């Protein structure tokens, strides 16, 4: 079974600072995809960043980047220059044949 673990239920960061959200996963598949989704109070899940497991290069999307360690099955999200609008629940997700989500990390951004 594939499981996704987010060990940080809550995180806090000062505006303009950098924060890293952790995610580990368990799988026996060799080909899969990893995602970070953001869920603000509006409830809509928004794709933040994605990573193909076969790519060694870490994905980057503006202020968001990942540290993908395939051997360690680790997929952390780094948010640089945090903004108030980044406050949300962040879900790490794994996809091989269906999507599995972690429990989420609630990120608070302090002004």
Binding site for another protein (CB under 8 A): 33, 35, 37, 42-47, 50, 52, 91, 97-104
Instruction: Name which of 44 and 111 has its Cβ closer to another protein.
Output: 44
Instruction: Name which of 46 and 84 has its Cβ closer to another protein.
Output: 46
3-state SS assignment for residue 106? strand
CA-CA distance, 2 to 17, in Å (whole number)? Answer: 33
Instruction: Name which of 33 and 64 has its Cβ closer to another protein.
Output: 33
User: Nearest approach, Cβ of 30 to another protein (angstroms)?
Assistant: 14
User: Nearest approach, Cβ of 91 to another protein (angstroms)?
Assistant: 7
User: Nearest approach, Cβ of 14 to another protein (angstroms)?
Assistant: 27
User: Nearest approach, Cβ of 49 to another protein (angstroms)?
Assistant: 10
3-state SS assignment for residue 95? strand
DSSP of 25-93: EE-S-SS-EEEEEEE-TT---EEEEEEETT--SPPEETTEEEEEETTTTEEEEEE-S--GGG-EEEEEE
């Amino acid at each position: 079974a594939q499981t996704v673990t987010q060990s940080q239920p809550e995180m806090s960061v000062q505006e303009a600072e950098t924060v890293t959200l952790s995610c580990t996963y368990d799988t026996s598949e060799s080909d899969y995809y990893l995602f970070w989704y953001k869920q603000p109070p509006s409830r809509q899940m928004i794709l933040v960043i994605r990573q193909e497991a076969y790519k060694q290069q870490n994905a980057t999307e503006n202020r968001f980047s990942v540290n993908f360690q395939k051997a360690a099955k680790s997929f952390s999200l780094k948010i640089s220059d945090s903004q108030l609008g980044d406050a949300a629940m962040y879900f790490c997700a794994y996809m091989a044949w269906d999507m599995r989500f972690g429990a989420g990390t609630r990120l608070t951004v302090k002004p």
